[in-house]
Chains A and B, each alone.
Chain A
Amino acid sequence: MNGGLPRRLLLPLCVILVLLWSLLPILWQVTTSFKPNSELLSLPPLMPASPTFEHYRVIFDEQPFHHVLVNSTVVAFATTLAALGIGSLAAFPLARLPIRGKGTFLGIVLGASMFPAIVTVGPLFVIIRELGLRDTWWALVISHTSFSLPLTIWILTNFMRELPEDLYRASRIDGCTPWQSFYHVFLPLCRPGLAAAAILVFLFSWTEFLFALTFTATEASRTVPVAIALFPGLHEIRWGEMAAASVIVTIPVFLIVGAFHKHIVRGLTVGAVKG
């Protein structure tokens, strides 16, 4: 201990600071969601003096928030399914079959993930309007799937590449067609990769804003982030209801991060960090 703060106190102190920095803004939003409107107009009190569920009631009773929640859920699940299905099919030959130009293809996939969404949203809008898909789930599922495909392919290719090469050969000898090798051997074995990809794709779709903003028009397909961004309120901003909506959309995220933290880390770092 060389003067100043003892080293063994320094670590916990820093950890607490980091935790406060990460969590306080979220906690403040939660607090806000339980404050009656009167308490939102002044500070103090910091904590709600008379906590209320009024804001939660309003967004469900007086606004079509349940519609919006259903839209978000359907779109996120459908996107996850589609991206995983298409992505795992693509990852298999990229990881295992002798195809020329695999490296180039993976490079292009990685490049595609770098497109600014705003660049494609204009032409996509035109196509979607022509096809009559505006303001439908389809518009969002298709665009979300396409934008999460590069990440999915990247994660799953890396996972499958780590499986021993002999497993594929053995399955071929055992009488599998390439499809059977894929379905009976590779798919079950890359379950951790599928989980990681599924979680990241779900989170992407659940939180995506630009496509959802552009391709939806009404509550028929509007997702939660758009609903929060375009919160109705002619004269004053309804902070309490917005906070309640924020809390609701964050709860699944919170649960996913809590339960699958390790998968998320694995998915984000696969390929980028290697031993």
Chain B
Amino acid sequence: MPEVRIEHISKQYGAVSVLQDFSLTIHDGEFFTLLGPSGCGKTTLINLLAGLDELDAGEIYFDDRPISHLSPKDRDIAMVFQSYALYPHKTVFENIAFPLRVNKRSKAHIDSEVRRVASLLRLENLLAKKPAEISGGERQRVALGRALIRQPAAFLMDEPLSNLDAQLRVQTRSEIKKIHRDLKRTTIYVTHDQEEALSLSDRLAVLDRGVIQQVGTPHELYRCPSNLTVARFIGSPQMNLIRGTLISQPEMIVDLGHAHIPLPPKLISTDSSEGKSREVIMGIRPEVIRVQDGETSWKAIVVGVEPVGAHSWAELRWGDHVLRARLSVDVVLVPDQVVGLEIDTNDLHLFDAHSGERLS
């Protein structure tokens, strides 16, 4: 159960540099997620950790042991693939047993270990079947089983849920979480699905073009995205982002053109040079927006409403912008209706319009 330390690594394919001077530490026993859009380098990173690809520079340590010169089989890791990568010519039993077979373990040991893993994953009745004869969800569990049987120091999971349908994905997600809770093994998980990342991880890192945007707990990343990239990536639907001007007079105000938003003193440090204005982007999460029929200082026009059961999504035109808001289903709105907006200014996010860095 090692701490995984990635220090100043670089990797390029031909002329394309995927990772450059990249460092990251993953704690012992942690469930750590690498989150990012495709092409952000997360799969490259997991391949480097697995030993499926070779580093150009830098070093990876498991605890204090450098491992970049080790081949995959000597790294004591297991991996679950997006495609599951089950061996089509082997039965479920043989698939799960394969890592032990290659390690030349005794027949009795293999047998009992496969039974143990199979019962953990409810695969007992499928052991004699071939991968082609079982469902997608079952294949996924077999892939997990093949990883679990090794009892490795660390698990690597490369988008293991993305080939499942929505319902199975949620179900398997909680299963993976439970397994991690029981085994407490360092787990490094790659996904492009922010909901998956938020629900599973102890900590996560948002990657974009090979660069870490932010590392932290799901809560930290949701509450305090450190830049626009993270703000855009975490949360679904996306945070509303509106361009405006930050004015200090001396109370802080964001001028959106059609509205002035006074900021609570705690939100932003006042050391920014007084009297000057700067271009900012203001972020409002859909769930901090409320509407009411009564008079408020901000008026919006309802564009559309989609009820989705527990709540409904509303699109509200506010000046030149369209805001997405999560409203209670009890709020009945019709298109073109004029409503008053209420926004808790304590929950606002402010970013520099040029650098994209968080100000608040």
Task: Using CB atoms and an 8 Å cutoff, list the residues of chain A in contact with chain B.
Answer: 164, 166-167, 169-177, 180, 184-185, 188-189
Contacts and interface: CB of A to CB of B under 8 A. Distances in A.
B85 A169 contact: yes
Given A166-B85, A188-B89, A173 B102 contact: no
Interface string B36-60: 0000000000010011100000000
Contacts of A177: 71, 73
Interface of B: 47, 50-52, 71-73, 77-79, 81-89, 98-99, 102-103, 146, 150, 156
Contacts of A180: 102
Given A177-B73, A180-B102, A184-B102, A172 B51 contact: yes
B56 to A, nearest CB: 14
Contact of B73 (A164, A166, A169, A175): A175
Given A164-B83, A166-B83, A184-B102, A173 B77 contact: yes
Given A166-B81, A166-B83, A169-B81, A174 B98 contact: yes
B98 A189 contact: no
A176 to B, nearest CB: 5
A189 B83 contact: no
Nearest to B53: A98
Nearest to A187: B89
Contacts of B51: 172
Nearest to A163: B88
Given A166-B81, A170-B79, A189 B102 contact: no
Nearest to A167: B85
Contacts of B73: 172-177
A189 B132 CA distance: 14
Contacts of A188: 89
Given A169-B52, A170-B79, A175 B85 contact: no
Contacts, number: 62
Contacts of A176: 73, 102
Contact of A173 (B72, B82, B87): B72
Contacts of A167: 85, 87
A174 B102 contact: yes
B229 to A, nearest CB: 29
A169 B47 CA distance: 9
A189 B79 contact: no
13 contacts: A166-B82, A166-B84, A167-B85, A170-B86, A172-B51, A173-B52, A173-B73, A173-B78, A174-B78, A174-B150, A175-B99, A177-B73, A189-B88
Provide the main secondary structure of the chain A interface.
helix
B71, B86, B98, most chain A CB atoms within 10 A: B98
> What are the nearest 5 A-B pairs in CB distance?
A166-B85, A170-B85, A175-B73, A174-B99, A175-B102
A164 B85 contact: yes
Contacts of A184: 98, 102
Contact of B52 (A172, A174, A175): A172
Contacts of B98: 171, 174, 184
A51 to B, nearest CB: 50
A55 to B, nearest CB: 48
Contacts of B86: 170
A185 B79 contact: no
Nearest to B89: A188
A171 B71 CA distance: 12
A176 B88 CA distance: 17
With most chain B CB atoms within 10 A of its CB, the pick from A169, A176, A180 is A169
A173 B79 contact: yes
Contact of B146 (A166, A172, A174, A185): A174
B80 to A, nearest CB: 9
Nearest to B84: A166
A167 B78 CA distance: 14
B96 to A, nearest CB: 10
B81 A170 contact: yes
Nearest to A176: B102
B177 to A, nearest CB: 22
Nearest to A185: B87
A175 B73 CA distance: 4
B72 A172 contact: yes
Contacts of A172: 50-52, 71-73
A181 to B, nearest CB: 9
Contacts of B72: 172-173, 175
A175 B87 CA distance: 14
Given A166-B85, A172-B73, A180-B102, 20 more contacts: A164-B85, A166-B83, A166-B84, A167-B85, A167-B87, A169-B47, A169-B50, A169-B81, A169-B85, A170-B85, A170-B86, A170-B146, A171-B87, A172-B72, A173-B78, A173-B79, A174-B102, A175-B72, A175-B102, A189-B88
